């Protein structure tokens, strides 16, 4: 029987991925674990929820044993903007927790581990158009450094211990359900959340011409589960797969929202996150994911915006 532990389950991706996994595998077979962020009522009532500090290896091991865990989706991470304010914490949390998960998965012979990388793994010397799967990784943030190190660590555990670790380089993920968590692409979520308020005016922290690769949360969830359900012999990338859906500028997003909410306005006041955004790709080549496990996104900018504002 598949028994899944989702760490970082109260985060942007974790909160929705947990619900999707419970729908697929059964509510009692997916254990949600969070630490400092208060879980939503839906997360607490839809299945088991525990408080867990994943940097504590002994406690993590006890949880894996107690619940007979066979797979771990490890989503704990300090994101790019937050990580730049406290790089020591970003390194400790991101790397210690991953190493603990990999060691326990190896020792207990778990079936699979999922760990997310990010476009933050790329850097200013990486080709920004159609960024290839195999390319220069020289990130400009501590968050990005931990993602590159994590990719190499995951590949090492596969090569040396045959641990089935799978990973995706997520683009910016857009969801209306959770508040921004300290990432450089948070302005997209900020625009949508502001647009549905009275007198909606949003101050964007990147320039209107800034173009970054993005993805609607339902596509991110689908990609994650599709990757984890793919046959092992089809997985040719053990560092992290490039993943893409849509790319657009901040101004293009503003105009798309205005088609539905004409009174929405956006001002632009770039801050320290602009430099981070400028070091990331504009478009991503994810042909390897499409070839290996038939990845294909469903949403574009128009359909995503329509769906978000319809729900709200």
Q: Which helix (H) or strand (E) holds 170?
A: strand 165-170
Any idea which residue has 């042909």 for tokens? Answer: 287
C-alpha to C-alpha distances, 33 to 12, 46, 162, nearest whole angstrom: 13, 13, 26
* Cα gap 182→172, rounded to integer Å: 12
Any idea which residue has 């909410």 for tokens? Answer: 261
Write down the catalytic residue from 67, 73, 143, 202.
143
Are residues 190 and 202 in contact, defined by beta-carbon separation less than 8 angstroms? yes
* Cα gap 295→215, rounded to integer Å: 13
* Cα gap 127→283, rounded to integer Å: 9
Neighbour count for residue 66 (Cβ, 10 Å): 10
Are residues 297 and 246 in contact, defined by beta-carbon separation less than 8 angstroms? yes
* Cα gap 101→89, rounded to integer Å: 18
* Cα gap 8→25, rounded to integer Å: 19
* Cα gap 94→86, rounded to integer Å: 12
Please confirm, yes or no, whether 143 is among the known catalytic residues.
yes
Helix, strand, coil percentages for the chain (3-state, nearest 5):
45, 15, 40
Q: Which helix (H) or strand (E) holds 30?
A: strand 30-34
3-state secondary structure 204-269: ECCCCCCEEEEEEHHHHHHHHHHHHHCCHHHCCCCCCEECCCEEEEHHHHHHHHHCCCCCCEEEEC
Active site residues: 143
């Amino acid at each position: 029987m598949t028994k899944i532990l989702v760490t970082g389950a109260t985060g942007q991706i974790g909160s929705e991925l947990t619900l999707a996994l419970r729908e697929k595998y059964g509510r009692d077979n997916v254990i949600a674990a969070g630490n400092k962020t208060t879980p939503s009522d839906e997360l607490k009532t839809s299945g088991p929820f525990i408080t867990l500090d994943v940097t504590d290896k002994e406690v993590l091991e006890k949880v894996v044993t107690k619940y007979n865990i066979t797979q771990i989706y490890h989503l704990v991470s300090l994101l790019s903007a937050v990580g730049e304010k406290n790089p020591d914490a970003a390194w400790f949390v991101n790397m210690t927790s991953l190493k603990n998960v990999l060691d326990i998965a190896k020792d207990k012979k778990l079936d699979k581990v999922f760990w997310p990388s990010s476009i933050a793994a790329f850097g200013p010397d990486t080709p920004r158009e159609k960024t290839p799967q195999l390319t220069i990784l020289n990130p400009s943030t501590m968050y990005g450094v931990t993602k590159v190190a994590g990719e190499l660590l995951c590949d090492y555990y596969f090569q040396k211990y045959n641990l089935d670790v799978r990973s995706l380089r997520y683009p910016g993920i857009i969801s209306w359900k959770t508040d921004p968590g300290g990432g450089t692409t948070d302005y997209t979520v900020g625009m949508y959340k502001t647009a549905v308020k009275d007198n909606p005016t949003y101050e964007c922290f990147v320039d209107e011409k800034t173009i970054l690769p993005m993805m609607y949360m339902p596509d991110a969830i689908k990609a994650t589960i599709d990757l984890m359900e793919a046959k092992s012999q089809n997985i040719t990338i053990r560092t992290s797969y490039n993943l893409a859906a849509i790319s657009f500028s901040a101004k293009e997003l503003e105009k798309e929202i205005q088609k539905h909410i004409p009174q929405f306005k956006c001002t632009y006041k770039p801050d320290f996150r602009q430099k981070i955004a400028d070091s990331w790709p504009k478009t991503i080549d994810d042909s390897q994911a499409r070839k290996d496990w038939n990845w294909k996104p469903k949403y574009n900018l128009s359909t995503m915006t329509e769906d978000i504002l319809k729900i709200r």
